[in-house]
Amino acid sequence: MGASIESLQERVRGEVVEPGSPRYDEARTVYNAMHDRRPRAVVQCADAADVIATVQTAHDEGLDLAVRGGGHSVPGFGTVDDGLVVDLSGMRNVQVDPAKGVARAGGGAVWGDFDHATNAFGLSTTGGVISTTGVGGLTLGGGIGYLARKYGLSCDNLIAADVVTADGRLLRASEDENDDLFWALRGGGGNFGVVTSLEFRLHPVGNIVGGPIFFELDAAADVMDFYRQYIAQAPEELGAFFMFQIAPPLPFIPEERHGDTLCGVVTCWSGPESDAAAVLKPLRDAGPVVAEHVGPMPYPALNSAFDALLPPGLQHYWKADFVKELTDDAITAHVEHGSQVPVVNSTVHLYPIDGAVQRVRPDETAFAYRDVSFACVIAGMWPDPADNAANTEWVRDYWSAIHPYSGTDGGYVNFMGDDDQDRVEANYGGNYERLSKVKATYDPDNLFHLNQNIQPAR
């Protein structure tokens, strides 16, 4: 007899939260408030055994299965109507081995958990720029962050992962074990199973010098022009992304400028503190500075500095591209649409894809776009559902204007929306066929299909 949902609570240590439970609404809620779904049950897993029981139940009962770590999926992949949710948020433990320079994170850990644990030893790895994003979801898609130019993507720092596959086995994936699965996990997203723990290489980064520099909007074309050249030559210890951003009401920004649309660069210098001023000086001179908040701080402080702008419960609609070369025409289109950013939560980021990221071959991991210059995301985020149409339109119009200049068909899977499934092949470039074969090996019936879905090869 197969594993039934009725007996699931007896077989797990965590809680099976079903409709009717006073905790149901809280348990089914995900970060993007656009996704108001009603799962058959949310299984708040306590350990890998709970994950195995839940995967077996979904498999045997033919239920849709959603996997949730940090819950940040913009397309809402961490929830599903009438199906089962594997909720990993109870598995957030992070263990650090400072002597070996490695850390092992539970499948539901968020970057705030990870940075907190590793910073105690003056160590870090590349992670996300918001502390509430999941380590699992971000790393499996690739993982772009401040330290990427020096140390590679998050997935480039993954040493091993424990994975519950569709048949309910717990496999270890590393260079030495199930290496095809390990290859696919590093960029292939949640297509291959539920990752119950992830082991990372750490680097000696404790304190950094960083923060945002805001420039006048009418200098945006010059600042972008400067930024594209500057970042290509800057020392790899500098992480820095360009943005369009409405000035939030923060004390370091003159009060009369709060609410003005500006452009800016968020910096993170992980080299010697004494070199920071010289490295950042050309950037500060790139245009008229409205305000800046750059200084020494622990790395986790920068990675949580913008959390308050992005509380749970906003509406999200995003679109994205990899950018081969940031051309003059692209800059013109960016300035036209970036200056129309509708609300303080929304933003546009250009993240550099260079340095250590490019030293990994495009076919060495599933993350294919190693030979581009930037990953661009137009991140529409706003509080009021009444504004959905207008904000979605801003994102779509912006993307339509810049896409012709991107020089690639693909974008970063973790920045894609739910209407981007037709771009999945393009997002994996030359790696799609191999990913499809690995999918056929580990998930031939596509149990894990609530993601940017890779079809199993026939």
Instruction: Using CB under 6 A, pick the residue from 83, 112, 145, 264 that binds ligand FAD.
Output: 145
Closer residue to ligand FAD in complex, CB, 290/439:
439
Our finding on whether 429 is near ligand FAD (CB under 6 A) is no
Our finding on whether 56 is near ligand FAD (CB under 6 A) is no
Q: Binding string to ligand FAD for residues 239 to 278, with x set by CB under 6 A, is what?
A: ----------------------------------------
Instruction: Using CB under 6 A, pick the residue from 39, 83, 137, 300 that binds ligand FAD.
Output: 137
Closer residue to ligand FAD in complex, CB, 69/264:
69
Least separation in angstroms between CB 76 and ligand FAD: 7
Q: State the CB neighbour count (10 A cutoff) for residue 24.
A: 16
Our finding on whether 189 is near ligand FAD (CB under 6 A) is yes
**What is the arrangement of strands in the sheet containing 94-97, beginning at the earlier edge strand?**
94-97, 102-106, 194-201, 158-164, 170-174
Residue 296 makes CB contacts below 8 A (sequence gap 6+) with: 207, 208, 209, 273, 276
Our finding on whether 136 is near ligand FAD (CB under 6 A) is yes
Q: How far is CA 202 from CA 69, 90, 159, in A?
A: 21, 24, 10
Closer residue to ligand FAD in complex, CB, 76/287:
76
Our finding on whether 102 is near ligand FAD (CB under 6 A) is no
Our finding on whether 71 is near ligand FAD (CB under 6 A) is yes
Our finding on whether 77 is near ligand FAD (CB under 6 A) is yes
Our finding on whether 124 is near ligand FAD (CB under 6 A) is no
Distance CA 302, CA 211 (A): 7
Residues touching ligand FAD, count (CB under 6 A): 33
233-262 in b/e form (b: 16+ CB < 10 A) is ebebbbbbbbbbbbbeeeeebeeeeeeebb
Nearest one of 422, 131, 159, 436 to 302, comparing CA atoms: 131
Pairing status of strand 84-87 against strand 65-68: parallel
Residue with tokens 């599933």: 366
Which residues form the interface with ligand FAD (CB under 6 A)?
67-74, 77-78, 88, 107, 128-130, 133-134, 136-138, 140-141, 143-145, 189-190, 194-195, 310, 414, 450-451
